[in-house]
Chains A and B, each alone.
Chain A
Amino acid sequence: MSFATAGKYLRPAQVRVGLVLLALMLLFTFLGPLFAPHQPNGIIGTPYAEPGGGLAFGADTVGRDVLSRVLWGGYQLVWMSVLAALLGVVVGAGIGLLAAFRGGILETLLMRLMDVLLAFPGVLLALLFVSMLGPSKPLLVLLVAVGHLPGVARVTRGAVFPVLEREHVSWARAVGLPARTILARELLPNVMSPVLVEFGVRLMWSVGTIASLSYLGYGIQPPTADWGEMISSNRSALGIQSLAVLAPIACVALFTIGGNLVSEGVSRVIARSEGRA
């Protein structure tokens, strides 16, 4: 992708706002722990202590500093989400490319397999496996990534077809140019933009899914500071210590809204340029 095409995607204000929001949230997530005034798991106040007196955001249900836990609370979530999105997009795009390029029985097999996975929306696949294997972090990353496969494979396969139909590509295949060359020279550059958009969408979905799982009790496990877990464990205290719930909610919301702004803006640019072509 050249700078010119990248600039094209940056033109809508929506995309720029979203990128700034995402960058700020990433900084917050990864630098936040450095600025935490207390240990995230240290009990330093009375339960439900209101904001003030050294605790800017008050204390949670067991008397831990809410501010410190909010600052720590995205670290695991975002790392796991990035890994899950990366794994899901790379493998999913590989499956889509392979299916479209090879065709035949392999394509049918792969896409039917994707249909099977497609039947497990959102947290369902993770809940199914966690019921027996328990919520370990590598397992969660793997399950969320597997959940991304069908969507990514479908999008990639759809993006490859029009390229395969171009005259010089079908000519290259006919004269027996190695598949590797066709993949690298023709297919990859053309599927790059939709795959990048998919990565943005999937990153946001990963954050949503893993946070939801943590909220349900089967994601990141207590006592690890985590936004989803904080929202669920402090919910009973919403009336007396609302910051313990609202602060992590704001964090999750800003993250997913930023991601959505970018992916929506970029896909609109792609749709418009395809409409023109």
Chain B
Amino acid sequence: MVANAEPIIESRPVPRVLRWLGMRVLFGVLTLFLVSVLIFLATEALPGDVARIVLGTNATPEKLAAVRVQLGLDQTLVAQYWHWLRGVLTGDLGTSLINHYPVGELLAGRLLNSLVLGVFALVLILPLSLLTGMLAARLRDRFYDKTLLGSSMIANALPDFVIGTVLAALFGTTLFHVLPPVALIPPGDLPWWHPADLVLPIAAMVIMGVAYLSRLVRVAFIDVLQSEYIQQAVLNGLSMRRILFRHALPNALGPITPAASLVAAYSLAGLIVVENVFSYPGIGTALVDAVGNHDLPIVQAIVLFMAAAFYVLNTLADVLANRTRRRR
């Protein structure tokens, strides 16, 4: 039976979608490989004595030599890259040049903090965008719709650090002294032990995310609400709530899903700035500190993680958008 079944399966052509997905994955791996090469070249292959930049001008020759060996600068470029990549793939991210702790150990707690911030923000962004966007589509061109469009346009235009600083100014320092303008989360503590410290950073990310996503939700719903079968449902006297949630929502989700994936990607990028505005101890603050200290292994690890995550989320958005287009 099994032996007979095999040729039948093999003789079927591979579904086009699967082949297309396979190509995407292949290109994705290739792209991530090139991303890692770029990160490596940017940090280690540029002109200038890396060891001297790291240690400063007063370094002793012995120390310089020690750092050169630690960084593998006495080897060829390809050998250095291979050594680094093998380490990354096996979970060995090297040791910090500043305090000589393993990078993985240093960043694990930071990464958790950042993920908590990002996930909390996303969990709020998605339903809030759906609700505000749906309501705007329902009340198209009325006061609420125009207010949402105007305020989201402004929020979209503002750089992340401006939104964060304004929030800190409003709720932390000048007008209301209700929330801490700086997140003080000691290492080892879990972020949700300090809920007050989380409010403002999450609020900043939610404002940016909702400002972007709610407009797309609005447009998607306006499109769906104008379609024939929804008009028919209205004529049949179905309640608006039923139409919105039971009939329009499933259809509007098609174009909204890829956008949500993009929001996740841009929230990740926004983390760098938002964390720094509130001194939140995540990988964004770790990156900015490491850039100042020329702590290359940390810079490499964080940039590689962020670029890879950003690329994957972006590609996911692309694939999802393609899927909805195919269905139409």
Contact = CB atoms under 8 A, between A and B. Distances in A.
Chain A complexes with chain B: yes
Contacts of B197: none
B46 to A, nearest CB: 5
Nearest to A227: B162
Contacts of A120: 35, 303, 307, 310
A204 to B, nearest CB: 7
A116 B32 CA distance: 7
A238 B169 CA distance: 7
Interface of B: 27, 30-32, 34-35, 38-39, 42-43, 46, 48, 50, 53, 153-154, 156-162, 165-166, 168-169, 172-174, 181, 265-266, 268-270, 272-273, 276, 287-288, 290-292, 294, 296, 299, 303, 306-308, 310-311, 314
A231 B159 CA distance: 12
A249 B165 contact: yes
A161 interface: no
A128 B299 contact: yes
**Which of the listed residues B159, B165, B292 has the most CB atoms from chain A within 10 Å of its own CB?**
B159
A204 B157 CA distance: 8
Contacts, number: 146
Given A121-B306, A253-B157, A264-B153, 20 more contacts: A112-B34, A118-B314, A121-B265, A123-B269, A124-B310, A127-B272, A127-B288, A127-B299, A132-B48, A132-B294, A208-B158, A211-B161, A215-B273, A228-B161, A249-B162, A252-B158, A252-B159, A253-B158, A256-B158, A257-B158
Contacts of A207: 159
Given A132-B48, A238-B173, A260-B157, A216 B273 contact: yes
Contacts of A121: 265-266, 268-269, 306, 310
Contacts of B290: 131
A122 B181 CA distance: 24
A236 to B, nearest CB: 9
A40 interface: no
Interface residues of A, number: 46
A235 B165 contact: yes
Interface in A69-118: 112-113, 115-116, 118
Given A239-B173, A249-B166, A231 B288 contact: no
Nearest to A120: B307
A162 B319 CA distance: 22
A217 interface: yes
**Which of the listed residues B30, B31, B157, B168 has the most CB atoms from chain A within 10 Å of its own CB?**
B157
Contacts of A115: 27, 31, 311
Contacts of B39: 128
A132 B42 contact: yes
Interface string A231-265: 11001001100100110010011001101110010
A128 B173 contact: no
Contacts of A119: 31-32, 35, 307-308, 310-311, 314
Contacts of A156: none
Interface of A is mostly: helix
Contact of A239 (B42, B174, B273, B308): B174
A261 B149 CA distance: 11
B5 to A, nearest CB: 38
11 contacts: A121-B269, A122-B270, A124-B303, A131-B299, A217-B288, A218-B288, A238-B172, A246-B169, A252-B162, A253-B157, A256-B157
A253 B160 CA distance: 11
A128 B303 contact: yes
Contacts of A132: 42-43, 46, 48, 50, 53, 294, 296
